[in-house]
Structure 1
């Protein structure tokens, strides 16, 4: 099966942003169009709404905003001042690629320093560790179960003490058993806590949950797509006012 980003986690916020009058630039580490996770191509992720599901599929397949893809490096080199916000959808790409991508770290640091809305959904929030001085070493420490080493590498993290959420350990367990048929390298909650994040998740699995702290907006799971999009648009509108 193709793992990648979730259709609803990409399309629902992107469509909401376009509907609210914002332009979108889609960027990936290598500038290639991202894969959509095959598991996510289901009307179930759209509350059974066939029209919304079809709109999302058509949007991702054919809308210019989803096909004129740039590399993160080209976005950094082109300058970040013209961007008013950043959004990272979920899926497993953030865990593998973004959380140790130098350019992703540069981009997120810019938005943090400028206090510009920074939204991340589901597995997406783990990408914020890309802002560490040595994110690859931090990730390696997590994989090896070296909690002390990870904490040491995360000293003076820019998001230390921020309230945030992420796909929960119990949700991940269900996903691993029913969908992935395998395990991730480490637990997202633990990764963010090791870095210094104040992580909270819902008691009920797959219930919508959005946490906002300063510029950081995080959504816990696929069900949080619309609520996170609403919070992001509210923050963008407030910044523009």
Structure 2
């Protein structure tokens, strides 16, 4: 017997805008699969949905045992789960999930990799989902770059994103007026962590960093002083993890929040 349904919202992006062009992007394998596997093992039913209705693209930079603390067996289990488990292969289209109604979902989770910066942070269906879960105070968890998706709850999310790309943070702040998550404590992939990705993976600079965007929106953003150390913040219904190594602790906090709500 399922303890409830959890919506996992993935990105459909494979390229991201950078200064001077575009770079390859996607979701990080561990950030998607570790929390999804934990939810299934805890007795929850997982529904994966993306804007396109297709499986998210896995960023090649994440496709290694390095992101599973060097544990080759855990890496292989994750690869198999993503390739074969129905919770990962029976992907729904985000618009169809919204159209059918969100009342049946106990919580929502958005994994990272840079891909959510491209589509989810300005996706109208993502915005509808966030507003529903915020109004119902249902657990809302986002990991690494995933927290940038909370921007989608704004009525002018696309314009906010465009302002950040253009370097106009004052305009972005104006567009964020009335944002549902203003004043929430939250974390996200830090500027110094992003520099590692820019230097060694993208070989280009991003147009904006994630903490600046969420602060412009009105978030109370806290990141660790030590890069890539696990860091999770829970404030009301919102649960955010900073980086890939926050995958297990974020999953634990999400499951605990779901269990508390179910028991209430």
Place the TM-score, normalised by the shorter chain, in its bin. over 0.9
Structure 1 residue runs without a partner (length 5+): none
**Paired residue for 2:80?**
58
Could you tell me how far apart the structure 2 residues matched to 1:72 and 1:93 are? 15
Q: Report the Cα offset of residue 57 of structure 1.
A: 0.3
| Matching residue within 218, 226, 230 for 2:248 | 226
1:207 correspondence with 2:229: yes
**Paired residue for 2:94?**
72
TM-score, structure 1 length as denominator? Answer: 0.99
Q: Report the Cα offset of residue 185 of structure 1.
A: 2.0
| Local SS of the residue matching 1:84 | strand
CA contact 1:2–1:36 (8 Å) conserved in 2: no
**Paired residue for 1:160?**
182
The structure with the greater share of residues assigned to helix is 1
Could you tell me how far apart the structure 1 residues matched to 2:192 and 2:203 are? 15
Return structure 1 stretches of 4+ with deviation > 4 angstroms: none
Could you tell me how far apart the structure 1 residues matched to 2:162 and 2:70 are? 40
Q: Report the Cα offset of residue 2 of structure 1.
A: 4.8
Residue-by-residue CA offset, 1:172-200 (whole Å, 9 max, x unaligned):
00111011212222110000000000000
CA contact 1:4–1:36 (8 Å) conserved in 2: yes
| Matching residue within 122, 126, 135 for 2:148 | 126
| Local SS of the residue matching 1:208 | coil
1:24 correspondence with 2:33: no
**Paired residue for 2:65?**
43
| Local SS of the residue matching 1:136 | helix
Give the length in aligned residue pairs. 241
1:149 correspondence with 2:171: yes
**Paired residue for 2:159?**
137
Structure 2 residue runs without a partner (length 5+): 1-22
**Paired residue for 2:137?**
115
Q: Report the Cα offset of residue 74 of structure 1.
A: 0.4
The structure with the greater share of residues assigned to strand is 2
